[in-house]
Structure 1
């Protein structure tokens, strides 16, 4: 289940440190590295990004499962995180995994920003 407080903290940090554009660029970079197309406008809101991720992951789960697995590997989503997804509904799975992707991409951007 998506942790509401955790998501609000991520959203706050993105805004506070002006990392929104870097987050979008990181997501695009990792999708490109895994040969999965995804169009996200640079000016997208957090909710829009999560919605686009959910839609893309839903399609990958249904139609291109190998690409889905490769994408999660490239982004570096841990197997333990995936095991915590406690639903069989594919829409809910795509929503949960979209948040995991969003969170992991945020971590990458955050650490790059903090330790440069």
Structure 2
């Protein structure tokens, strides 16, 4: 992976081009389950719905269940450094940025697994 996709559109395009979109969904489902967050996406969910629902869940976690939110970031393994660089004054904007960081990290995991499998 030369570099991570920097937009949602690029990330989804890359996942679909490499036929890894279903694996991305599985990885998201797996990590959310590990974090005890009740979320289970169908593998054929539209990318726009995925983005919207993920954003909604992360927004609610930040607002109402902050410790679960932190646990999710830990399980997904989102860089603490990247989170600290975000502006937390606007929760809606923050949750949108965190949603992308979560997707980016999940994509990284899926890409590495497929790229380095024996």
| TM-score using structure 1 length | 0.90
- Give the alignment's Cα RMSD to 1 decimal: 1.3
Q: Aligned ranges for residues 20-35 of structure 1 at < 5 Å?
A: 20-35=21-36
| Residue aligned with 1:6, SS | coil
Count residues with an aligned counterpart: 112
Could you tell me which residue of structure 2 aligns to residue 69 of structure 1? Answer: 70
Q: Is residue 80 of structure 2 the alignment partner of residue 56 of structure 1?
A: no
Could you tell me which residue of structure 1 aligns to residue 17 of structure 2? Answer: 16
Inter-partner Cα distance in structure 2 for 1:11 and 1:32: 22
Inter-partner Cα distance in structure 2 for 1:86 and 1:61: 14
Q: Aligned ranges for residues 91-110 of structure 1 at < 5 Å?
A: 91-110=92-111
Inter-partner Cα distance in structure 2 for 1:114 and 1:45: 24
| Residue aligned with 1:37, SS | coil
Q: Residues 16-58 of structure 1: CA distance to partner in whole angstroms, max 9, x if unpaired?
A: 1111100000000000001111132211122221111110011
Instruction: Please identify runs of 4+ aligned residues in structure 1 that moved more than 3 A.
Output: none
Unmatched runs of 5 consecutive residues or more in structure 2: none
Could you tell me which residue of structure 1 aligns to residue 84 of structure 2? Answer: 83
Unmatched runs of 5 consecutive residues or more in structure 1: none
**Once the 2 structures are TM-superposed, how far is the Cα of residue 103 of structure 1 from its aligned partner?**
0.4
